[in-house]
Amino acid sequence: MVTREADLPGVGTKYSFPLTSGEQLVAVRHRVGHWEIARVDDEGQTTPLVTLAPKEAAELGRILSQRQEAEADARKQMLFEEFSMEWVTLDADSPLVGQTLRDAGVRARTGASVIAVLRSDSSIPSPPPDTSFLAGDTLVIIGGRNQVDRFIREYSSIAIDT
């Protein structure tokens, strides 16, 4: 389906696409924000269908696109189940405290990756290998379910569930 878009100078923007009935569905967004929707037959006769205030148009759009969104969400959910992302806060007695990312060999030992370090006053996204950890740091880790579980067992007793 091809939607045609045309400027209506001084009025707004017009969108139209053919319906299976052979008519055209025409929606015009006025410059001031409201929408006018109509169908047009091949004789050029126009039947106005509805005029919508901006909020009403947004609601209609939400309803119409909801189903597709739900399907897309389900697909994302499925993919998400194959890996896991956790926020892990380091205790003072965690073996990681005082070590750098490289020395600890986090990746080699657990398979999980540290993608960010959150401190009270700053954050380090994609920490470089020489980042050293402090007690109280919250690490954002990502990996397969087993890898993330292993990380938590090795380095921390507290996992903040997302």
Give the nearest distance from C-beta 57 to other proteins in angstroms.
Answer: 14
Return the residues of window 13-52 that contact other proteins according to CB under 8 A: 14, 26-28, 30, 36-38, 40, 43-46, 48, 51
Q: CB-wise, 33 or 95, nearer to other proteins?
A: 33
Backbone angle region of 98, left / alpha / beta, with phi > 0 → left and psi within -120 to 50 → alpha:
left
- x/- mask, other proteins, residues 45-84, rule CB under 8 A, reads xx-x--x---------------------------------
**Which of residues 5 and 121 has its CB atom nearest to other proteins in the complex?**
5
* Residues with Cβ within 8 Å of residue 136, at least 6 apart in sequence: 89, 90, 92, 119, 120
Residue 81, token pair as written in the block: 């189940």
Of 8, 19, 134, 135, which one interacts with other proteins (CB under 8 A)? 8
Cβ-proximal residues to 55 (8 Å cutoff; 6+ apart), any chain: none
Of 48 and 105, CB closest to other proteins: 48
Residues 8 and 129: their CA atoms lie apart, in Å, by 57
> In this structure, are residues 142 and 84 in contact, taking their beta carbons and an 8 Å threshold?
yes
Give the type of residue at 79: L
Q: For binding to other proteins (CB under 8 A), which residues are involved? A: 5-12, 14, 26-28, 30, 36-38, 40, 43-46, 48, 51
